[in-house]
Chain A
Amino acid sequence: MGSLHDRQWLTAGRNMTATELRAVDDPTYLEIQRFLFRETALLDRRDYGGWLALTTQDIRYRVSAMVARDAGAEPVDYAIVDEDQVGLKSRIDQISNPRLTRAENPPSMTRRVVSNIEAYDGESAGQFLVKSYLLAFRSRSSAPEGGFYVAERWDVLRRTAGGWRLAKRDVHLDHVMLFDGALSTLL
């Protein structure tokens, strides 16, 4: 299992070629897809507590954006969110309590579309590497016209006795410049 500082681990899936990855069988794929749709629905309903319950204790949640570099130059990204469970819970405690947030009260209206799901066997039995595309629309009272966050996500999912759990989420935003204030929701 990767440590907190292990960048290699964080970006492992993205740097692997298709031949190194073994796709899961169809029943597993359907279970994974069902899990992603379920946790997405929880986020769109702002049931952050319910969503957090679907994550593992060692969850790592990271969101990064890109630096615009010349083709051929070494790609550079930078994290804008990088949390363990404590940090993630603290973010959630803030945005889910109307008394403790200005950005999310009134709450953002969000709709997340998850597609292009690819699922592979992970590093160990019961662990899976899942890639998905995310199109997340957000509209707020201060920016009613709204805007899209567009990303490729690499998740690590685990099949546990209690059901499927999210152990890692690495959100690579396709943005060189973010918009509309500061990101106050989860992707």
Chain B
Amino acid sequence: MPASVGGMNGWVDIARGLVSRDIFVNDEICRMEFERIFDRTWTFLAHETEISRPGDYLSRTLGSAPVIVVREADGAVHALLNSCRHRGARVCRADSGNARNFVCPYHGWTYERSGRLVTTTFDRHLPKDFDFSSQGLARVPRLEAYKGLIFGSWNAEVAPLAEYLGDIAWYIDPFLARTHQGMQVLAPPHRWRAKCNWKIGALNFVGDSQHILTTHVGPLTLDPVRAARAGFATAAENSFQVVTDQGHGCTLTYLAPGLPEEAYQTHPPDLEPLYAERLPADQLQLLKRLRVIVGTIFPNLSFIETQVGPAQKAVIMRQWQPVSGTEMEILSWVLAEKEASADYKEQVLRKGFHNFGAAGVFEQDDLELWASATYASNNPVAKQFPYSFHTALPYINSPEKDHKWPGRAFKPADTEVAQLEFMRQWDRCMTASG
């Protein structure tokens, strides 16, 4: 159990609104996170459109381990431990490709896309009772998809994905499944490393409206439609945060009342009718006058759709993959409706990574400050002073009573309730017995 420090109990002290700094820098705690969170829960692996043809594969990370995600001839998807059963070499060393089967480059063990071992190339020397069927690439025991998002888990006993997503699914539907054909990934994900703890990213996306006007003063000031001054009405009456029982959360920021809607056109006119065909009325209502939705699916998949600048709506997905206590690898995808025109997709892609990605104008300022927080917290002196989540406290026990949609909603949108609830779930996973 964590020691008491700075007048708080444990790592996460909900009652006092305090969270240990140590958990944002400590390599040993990061190792425990792999065991107690990442290798136990569902985590995101890939979007189905990244492997659209038979044989398409991706090298990704699931929890602590490298995996291959591959599409079978019949359309099925497999996820396999990317480490040869013979002597452990990475069977796939490319980020992506197309393969009929997988041949380990070390000694030639050859596997089908399903992971089944076909030959060791020295089969003639094997004992007679060698069991090929038990020597395939280890399969990820649980693999399920939700609206194009493929998730995996190393925990065979994990609850079904739909149950795990719970109420957050209702909020991601209007973004990932608002047309009949759904969304597609427009380009390979940006992939880069940053010297900060993965939870800073997850917290930033689950509900950190307080950083927007200070961290992002640049792009908001330069935004031709003056979003900073008018559109970002986080305190507007209809903006709110949502938290779910699994620690997932999101923040929905709406256009302030009285502003002309046409100046903030958020959806291309040819796509809007498709949303009406696909979505039930209340989920369609969610999209109306929405400026930003940003959220995190516990532990490390985040998403954002934002109307900043000229009218292009990209859905950005984001994974914060821990490398150590003080470093993470980020993957960032841009998505658009499959039905959209090629021109629109190109615009959305460019606008998407103009804002968010390995050189994004929002991203560059976020990452600078996240790295500085990680750097400045990683010493025994700073660790005596827990992080403050105090603005959650007046609100965290008062969800909106008349909230008509799933999850618990909290107003106003610019408090730290969703962040503290994320930390509550983190703490639950980390301190659970067994």
Point out residues on A near B: beta carbons under 8 Å: 4-5, 63, 65, 67-70, 73, 76, 78-83, 87, 90-91, 93-95, 97, 99-104, 140-143, 176-184
How many angstroms between the C-alpha atoms of A4 and B358 in the bound complex? 21
Q: Is there an interface contact between A179 and B192, defined as CB atoms closer than 8 Å? A: yes
How far does the Cβ of B359 sit from chain A's closest Cβ, in whole Å?
4
Q: With A5-B343, A73-B97 as given contacts, are A177 and B363 in contact (CB-CB < 8 Å)?
A: no
Instruction: Find A181's partner among B93, B191, B194 (CB 8 Å cutoff).
Output: B194
Asked if A103 and B357 sit within 8 Å, CB to CB, the answer is no
B193 and A179 within 8 A (CB): yes
**16 pairs across A/B with beta carbons < 8 Å?**
A65-B190, A70-B94, A79-B350, A83-B354, A87-B354, A100-B221, A100-B222, A101-B365, A103-B364, A176-B191, A178-B192, A180-B194, A182-B192, A183-B359, A184-B359, A184-B368
- Contact partner of B359 (CB less than 8 A), chosen from A81, A102, A141, A143, is A81
Interface centre among B221, B359, B361, by most chain A C-beta atoms within 10 angstroms, is B359
Chain A contact surface mostly: loop
B64-120 CB contacts (< 8 Å) to partner A? 93-98
Distance (whole angstroms) from the CB of B86 to the closest CB of chain A: 20
- List residues 150-195 of chain B with CB under 8 A from any CB of chain A: 187-195
When the two chains form their complex, are residues A182 and B188 in contact, meaning their CB atoms are under 8 A apart? no
**In the complex, are the beta carbons of A79 and B187 less than 8 A apart?**
yes
Let me know if A69 and B361 touch, CB within 8 A: no
Inter-chain contacts of A93 with B (CB < 8 A): 222
Q: Which residues of A contact B149 (CB under 8 A)?
A: none
* Interface residues as binary, B316-355 with A (CB distance below 8 Å gives 1, 0 otherwise): 0000000000000100000000000011001001100110
Contact partner, B358, options A99, A103, A183, Cβ 8 Å: A183
Q: Name the B residues within 8 Å of A78 (CB-CB).
A: 187-190
A69 touches B97 (CB 8 A): yes
B259 contacts A by Cβ under 8 Å = no
Contact of B365 among A63, A73, A102, A176 (CB under 8 A): A102
Q: Decide if B364 touches A183 in the complex (CB within 8 Å).
A: yes
Q: Cα distance A83–B361 when bound, in Å?
A: 12
**A180 to chain B: which residues have CB within 8 Å?**
193-195, 371
Distance from B402 Cβ to chain A, minimum over Cβ atoms (Å): 39
Is B412's beta carbon under 8 Å from chain A?
no
- Complex Cα distance, B189 from A183, in Å, reads 16
Contacts of A143 in B (CB 8 A): 195, 371
- CB–CB B96/A69 < 8 A: yes
Q: Which of A69, A81, A141, A182 contacts B367 (CB 8 A)?
A: A182
Q: Does B15 lie at the interface of the complex (its beta carbon under 8 Å from any beta carbon of A)?
A: no
Complex contact B368–A103 (CB within 8 A):
yes
The answer, yes or no, to whether B132 is at the interface (CB within 8 Å) is: no
Contacts of A87 in B (CB 8 A): 350, 354
Cβ of B372 under 8 Å from chain A: yes
| Shortest Cβ distance from residue A110 to the other chain B in the assembled complex, whole angstroms | 14
Q: How far is the CA of A142 from the CA of B98 in the complex (A)?
A: 40
